Amino acid sequence: MLRALAVDDERPALEELLYLLRADPRVRSAEGATDATETLRRINRALDAGPDGDDAIDVVFLDIHMAGLTGLDIARLLAGFARPPLIVFVTAHEGFAVQAFDLKAVDYVLKPVRRERLAEAVRRVCDQVEASPAPAAAAPPAVAQQSAADQIAVELGGVTRFVPIDDIAYVEAQGDYARLHTRAGSHLVRIPLSTLEERWAARGFVRIHRRHLVALGRIDELRLDAGATTVRVGDAELAVSRRHARELRDLLMRRAHG
């Protein structure tokens, strides 16, 4: 039986799709996601768990037009993994079918979704799952795959790129946007700094100012001058606010002492 993830940023459409999937006896479980971040986090857990894990996903029913990353962008990212879940696109737009099947989609279902048409898509997925060879038990991947959660998508001139989070030295707030600074340049994303602060805390990013979030391991120098605290990150010198200065010094001391 199939384990499915349905993705649509319109809640009513997502609920309808989940209702139809859960009513199909060939579907063991169906969960939902409303944006690319949630989708990639859920898929990453599934890939880490493996095909027999509790979080495994066999198929993603994926909308195309969503805020931020599109369904096509997500499918392109998943194509880089060794054993990604199957993809069924569910969309109101006919014009992306060629791109969808170039990305090895199992099916392309048009909205509004009819029960009979979705049942046919489920049948095609089941046929492909049954035809897929079982993975070798002890064979490690020839090349290490980068986790979807280890990257962030950025848009540049209509092209989506995936920037490794480990490449980011610091982040600068620009209203509702954030500018990501790497050695190679900078990228603007429509994500508030506070969201990145919460999301990347476990990766060693610390808030040093209302405008800046810094990767702790990228701080080259801490300076105290006439009561003002700054840090040097590569060629950039960034101010540290008083409320964050003591915590930052403690973190750097603990890091220096292992």
Mean pLDDT of 206-235: 91
Give the domain ranges of the chain: 2-131, 153-256
Residue 94 is which amino acid?
E
Residue 172 structure tokens: 């600068």
**153-256 is classed in which CATH architecture?**
Beta Barrel (2.40)
Give the HSE-up count for residue 79: Cα atoms under 13 Å, Cβ half-sphere. 12
Dmax over CA atoms of the chain, in Å, equals 73
Q: What are phi and psi of 26, to 5 degrees?
A: -85, -5
Please report where in the chains the tokens 């001139």 appear, as a residue: 157
Contact by Cβ (8 Å): 138, 177? no
pTM: 0.54
Residue 144 is predicted with a pLDDT of: 41
* Band of pLDDT at residue 140, cut at 50, 70 and 90: very low
2-131 belongs to which homologous superfamily? Response regulator (3.40.50.2300)
Q: Could you tell me which of 24, 21, 23 has the C-alpha nearest to residue 32?
A: 21
Spatial distance between the Cα atoms of 140 and 215, rounded to a whole number of angstroms: 31
If you average pLDDT over every residue of the chain, what do you get? 85
CB atoms within 10 A of CB 17: 23
| Coil, helix or strand at residue 8 | coil
Lowest mean pLDDT among 34-38, 78-82, 133-137, 153-157: 133-137
Tens of pLDDT along 39-95?
Answer: 888 888 887 777 778 888 999 999 998 877 788 888 888 877 777 899 999 998 887
